[in-house]
């Protein structure tokens, strides 16, 4: 089975899934009229199945945000603004959610159901486990990314459910660790959340330095990302 078919089947599995209590499937909200043909709405921004870099966020807003924006992200969302700045600082420009660029990137979330109660409502362990086992693990096998970045502690905890050898550490502790080597020659970077609450705990300036750890790993000559960087350098005066 090719990647496209495997991904389509995973999307259909998500659409039919019954999420744990406290979450709604995007296919159920507003009778599914705002759902998309992606694993989650964040993948509409960057969803390259040949991505070299997989970015895993925590979750996608709440039900009010989902309905208000008709299942689409906004360009001025604080997390999106922060992520774009961090990626641009290491030579990658994902564009805007409303105008994405073609990049070897895939964005997804650790929790694929939609919660209620506000954008920053707490994420529950069973929510992370459900999406990790049923969706994130198979997505990694489909995309086969060389690099994975988790954005926020909950996203890292979700990866730990897939890769039990990952340590139990605070976010501050994880930022002091070297990149984690995962099965399949994949490399994981644990980063702070780049939205409002995350920036209150770790400034953008600090996060920009954190993300510089990724830059050397983008220089692999067989990496699609390195080709993008080479093109960028050649185009600069």
pLDDT at 194 over 90: yes
pLDDT at 220 over 70: no
pLDDT of residue 61: 87
Q: To the nearest whole number, what is the mean pLDDT of the chain? A: 92
Rounded Cα distance, 128 and 58, in Å: 9
pLDDT of residue 227: 52
* Average pLDDT of the segment spanning 174-179: 96
pLDDT at 230 over 90: no
**Predicted confidence (pLDDT) per residue in 103-136, tens digit:** 999 999 999 999 998 777 678 999 999 999 999 9
Pairing of strands 186-191, 180-182: antiparallel
Rounded Cα distance, 68 and 106, in Å: 24
Task: Please return the burial class of 190, using the count of CB atoms within 10 Å of its CB with bins 0-12, 13-18 and 19+.
Answer: buried
Planar angle of CA 150, 200, 56, nearest 5 degrees: 15
Q: Quickly count: other Cβ atoms within 10 Å of residue 167's Cβ.
A: 11
Q: How far is CA 209 from CA 3, 19, 58, 178, 224, in A?
A: 34, 37, 21, 14, 23
Q: Would you state the structure tokens that stand for residue 130, as one six-digit string?
A: 């459900």
* Between residues 76 and 196, the one the model is more confident about: 76
* Confidence class for position 222, pLDDT limits 50, 70, 90: very low
pLDDT of residue 221: 39
Q: Residue 215 contacts by C-beta under 8 Å, 6 or more apart in sequence?
A: 90, 91
pLDDT of residue 237: 42
3 state DSSP class of 118: coil
pLDDT of residue 149: 98
Can you name the residues that pair with 151 across neighbouring β-strands? 191
pLDDT above 90: percentage of residues in the chain: 84
- Which fold, 3-220? Uracil-DNA Glycosylase, subunit E (3.40.470)
pLDDT at 175 over 70: yes
The helix or strand, by DSSP H or E, that contains position 160, with its residue range, turns out to be helix 153-162
Q: Is 70 left (phi over 0), alpha (psi -120 to 50) or beta?
A: left
Rounded Cα distance, 126 and 3, in Å: 28
- What's the pTM value of the predicted model, to 2 decimals? 0.91
pLDDT at 203 over 90: yes
**Predicted confidence (pLDDT) per residue in 45-97, tens digit:** 999 999 999 999 999 989 999 999 999 999 999 999 999 999 999 999 999 99
3 state DSSP class of 173: helix
Domain spans in the chain, listed from the N-terminal domain onward: 3-220
């Amino acid at each position: 089975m090719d990647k496209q078919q495997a991904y389509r089947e995973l999307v259909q599995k998500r659409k039919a899934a019954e999420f744990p209590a406290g979450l709604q499937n995007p296919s159920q909200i507003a009778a599914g009229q705002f759902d998309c043909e992606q694993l989650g709405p964040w993948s509409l921004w960057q969803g390259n199945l040949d991505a070299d870099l997989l970015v895993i966020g925590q979750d996608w807003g709440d039900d009010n945000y989902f309905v208000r924006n008709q299942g689409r992200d906004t360009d001025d969302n604080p997390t999106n603004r922060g992520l774009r700045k961090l990626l641009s600082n290491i030579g990658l420009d994902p564009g805007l959610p409303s105008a994405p660029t073609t990049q070897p990137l895939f964005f997804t979330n650790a929790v694929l159901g939609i919660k209620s109660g506000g954008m920053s409502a707490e994420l529950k362990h069973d929510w992370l486990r459900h999406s990790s086992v049923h969706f994130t693990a198979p997505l990694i096998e489909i995309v086969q990314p060389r690099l994975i970045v988790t954005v926020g502690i909950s996203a890292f905890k979700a990866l730990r459910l897939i890769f039990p050898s990952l340590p139990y550490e605070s976010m501050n502790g994880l930022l002091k660790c070297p990149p984690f080597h995962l099965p399949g020659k994949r490399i994981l970077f644990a980063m702070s959340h780049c939205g409002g609450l995350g920036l209150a705990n770790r400034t953008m300036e600090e996060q920009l330095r954190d993300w510089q750890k990724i830059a050397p790993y983008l220089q692999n000559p067989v990496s699609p990302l390195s080709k993008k960087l080479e093109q960028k350098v050649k185009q600069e005066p």
